[in-house]
């Protein structure tokens, strides 16, 4: 299958740290992830294509004008302060999204950045933008008739809302791909198999009935993103009944994951989409540093087989999956499992 990624631009973003237990620790969303994932692509013999620059239209289709302006310009503004650190972290937040929109750089950062895992550095916008272009290119390939295409996105996207970055994510690549597919498909489903709930994706489509959002993930009761991902969140307004969360107990292995996924896929089939986006996190892996779930390397092929059996045009968009020896193997397992069953 075609693989879209920009190995130059997407590797530039190099966040220094994130806050865990009150301690700044090395940020796990490192450029090295791109290399290891590419090794999985190479092992599968897939064709790697650099995405075109699609401009801002596809990004602006799911992100608010204020947010796009913020994320594309904030670092330049930040640098005007000679005392400022190389990266931007928020230090003040509004208590609710209805608060007045602020003018200052640090206050806008608090408005648009949810947590301390999303430092904005000199190259963050460039990498995030090209990651989004990769997702758009995969959606375009599917629209043009490819049965499947894979976007090796980095940084990832599914924790980013319309106007709120979070959890290593600055632009919601899966949402961008799904919105693009809506041009030619009345109903699109996003199936998120990342270890963490796809809260940004859920938020973007929460009041819509044209994009079904399914996320299967570690139970957020005591796990990121805490505030979202619970089973009672089923959509609102026109979107009521079009969001499905399947939280799993920590440590769930292949069998439990596949049972949950089969349950979710029955709902997706009832929705009857004509195209799907898979938000492919590989961090449900048993040896992933986040240690939330216990899916095995062959488990990713099995998961992919179940998704391919939907027999629909599919854009696969990379989300999480962190540095461990098997990161590339897990990607290869998923992609080959998908192709074998498509």
**Does 158 qualify as catalytic in the annotation?**
no
Q: In the bound complex, which residue of the shown chain has the CB atom lying closest to Zn ion?
A: 320
The dihedrals phi and psi of 297, each to the nearest 5 degrees, come to -60, -50
Query: Applying CB under 5 A, which of residues 33, 196, 197, 302 lies at the interface with Zn ion?
Result: 196
Binding-residue total with Zn ion (CB under 5 A): 6
Q: Which of 40, 166, 235, 281 binds Zn ion (CB under 5 A)?
A: 281
> Minimum CB separation from Zn ion for residue 220, in Å?
12
CB-wise, 87 or 288, nearer to Zn ion? Answer: 288
Chain centre distance of CA 325: 22
Partners of 24 in the beta sheet? 19
CB of 170 to Zn ion, least distance (A): 15
* Site for Zn ion contains 195 (CB under 5 A): yes
Residue 6 in tokens: 């920009």
Q: Does 286 bind Zn ion (CB under 5 A)?
A: no
Choosing from 29, 163, 192, 194, the residue that interacts with Zn ion (CB under 5 A) is: 194
Asked whether position 121 contacts Zn ion by CB under 5 A, the answer is no
Distances (CA, A) of 233 to 197, 199, 215: 12, 11, 11
Query: Do residues 178 and 268 touch, judged by C-beta distance below 8 A?
Result: no
Residue of 159, 185, 197, 217 marked active site: 159
Report whether 174 contacts 192 (CB < 8 A). yes
E strand spans, the chain: 2-4, 17-20, 23-26, 47-49, 148-151, 188-192, 211-218, 243-248, 275-280, 314-318
Tell me: does residue 320 bind Zn ion (CB under 5 A).
yes
Q: Return the number of the residue (200 or 281) whose C-beta is nearest Zn ion.
A: 281
DSSP 8-state secondary structure symbol assigned to residue 46: P
Q: Report how far residue 35's alpha carbon sits from residue 39's, in angstroms, rounded to the nearest whole number.
A: 6
Do 130 and 10 touch, CB atoms closer than 8 A? yes
302 sits near Zn ion (criterion: CB under 5 A): no
288 interacts with Zn ion by CB under 5 A: no
Stretch that binds Zn ion, among 20-28, 38-46, 259-267, 276-284 (CB under 5 A): 276-284
Does 216 contact Zn ion by CB under 5 A?
Answer: no
Is 337 one of the binding residues for Zn ion (CB under 5 A)?
no
Which residues make up the interface to Zn ion (CB under 5 A)?
Answer: 194-196, 281, 283, 320
Active site residues: 159
């Amino acid at each position: 299958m075609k693989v879209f990624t920009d190995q130059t631009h997407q590797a530039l973003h190099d966040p220094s740290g994130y806050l865990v237990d009150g301690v700044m620790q090395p940020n796990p969303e490192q450029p090295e992830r791109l290399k290891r994932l590419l090794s999985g692509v190479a092992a599968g013999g897939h064709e790697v294509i650099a995405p075109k620059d699609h401009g801002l239209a596809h990004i602006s289709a799911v992100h608010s004008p204020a947010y796009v302006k913020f994320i594309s310009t904030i670092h330049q503004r930040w640098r005007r302060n000679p005392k400022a650190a190389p990266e931007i972290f928020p230090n003040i937040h509004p208590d609710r999204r209805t608060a007045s929109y602020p003018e200052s750089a640090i206050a806008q950062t608090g408005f648009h950045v949810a947590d301390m895992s999303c430092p904005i550095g000199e190259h963050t916008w460039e990498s995030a933008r090209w990651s989004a272009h990769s997702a758009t290119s995969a959606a375009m390939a599917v629209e043009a008739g490819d049965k499947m295409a894979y976007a090796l996105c980095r940084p990832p996207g599914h924790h980013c809302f319309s106007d709120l970055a979070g959890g290593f994510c600055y632009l919601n690549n899966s949402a961008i791909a799904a919105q693009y597919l809506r041009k030619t498909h009345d109903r699109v489903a996003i199936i998120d198999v990342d270890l963490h709930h796809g809260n940004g994706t859920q938020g973007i489509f929460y009041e819509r009935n044209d994009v079904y959002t399914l996320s299967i993930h570690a139970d957020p009761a005591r796990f990121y993103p805490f505030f979202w991902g619970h089973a009672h969140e089923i959509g609102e307004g026109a979107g009521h009944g079009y969001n499905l969360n399947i939280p799993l107990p920590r440590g769930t292995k292949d069998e439990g994951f596949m049972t949950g996924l089969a349950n979710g896929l029955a709902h997706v089939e009832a929705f009857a989409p004509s195209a799907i986006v898979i938000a492919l996190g590989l961090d449900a892996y048993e040896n992933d540093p986040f240690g939330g779930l216990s899916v095995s390397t062959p488990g990713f092929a099995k998961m992919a087989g179940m998704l391919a059996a939907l027999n629909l045009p599919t854009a696969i968009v990379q989300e999480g999956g962190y540095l461990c020896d098997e990161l590339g193997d897990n990607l290869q397992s998923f992609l080959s499992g998908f192709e074998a069953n498509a």
